[in-house]
Structure 1
Amino acid sequence: MEEILNAIPHRPPFLFVDRIVELSGTKIRTAKDIRADEPVFAGHYPGQPIMPGALICESIFQTGAILLSKMMGGMTGGIPVLTRVNNAKFRSIVKPGSTLDIEAELVEKVSNAYYMKGKASVGGKTSVTVEFTVTLAKEAP
């Protein structure tokens, strides 16, 4: 967890990556254990908890931010900011007790824009696929 906290500015309760599984060049795999006691399940949905698709996407975006941080040697280039989401597809639900397997890949870099794609799955079954763009914003003085 310390490695993740050193790589990105996100913190609980808005941190949706538990561990780095594999890091190789322009690709990364991470994991998130979906616990039944997560606050989101109090309202989504009582009695039939389902991980919101937007938060699954966020886990992919955070995984992409970790990749960029690792590629650049830390957050010295700025804070990762999501600027575009394309082709998000929600294929299956994710329930508490599952482990979300998350992948992100850098597809292309143009100037300060990082074009990425990602996928989240449970037990080999794809839950979400998405393409996204991140830029690095300089911190305010």
Structure 2
Amino acid sequence: MAAKDDPTREPEQHRTQFADLIRTRRVELNEGLTPFAERAVDPRSGVRVTRGWIYRLESGESVIPPKVEELRALAAAARLPLETLQDAAAAQFFGVDPLVGGSGEAKAYVRKLDRIPAEQRERLLSLIDSLALPDDEKM
């Protein structure tokens, strides 16, 4: 029996993190779809996100997940950091939940880890393990 045919398996929830972020931010900025879409331009490539795509996203219709250029365009329109949109898009479209909790500093470290060679990451993890308190000693 395939996992998707398993009657005991919980149904997957419809994820809306990205749509909710865009809709909420547009309301916070007190902007209609048209002015928001007009500002949805990637400052690097000039790629635009259309009003229709934003409408479909916000109304729960099926959309093609945005590429990084489109995320930068929406970040510009929403006046939010690109990373905020990347986390929400990853959660909604790919089921990847962002790093939750921790300080902003810890999140910044995690984002930089992929730029460190694997051998150095292993050594760094060993160092962190030697410095961190065991779970049972945390306050």
Report the TM range for the smaller structure's normalisation.
under 0.3
TM-score, normalised by the number of residues in structure 1: 0.25
Q: Which of 1 and 2 has higher RCO (CA within 8 Å, sep 6+)?
A: 1
TM-score, normalised by the number of residues in structure 2: 0.26
Whichever structure has more helix as a proportion of its residues is: 2
Whichever structure has more strand as a proportion of its residues is: 1
Question: Who wins on radius of gyration, i.e. which is larger?
Answer: 2
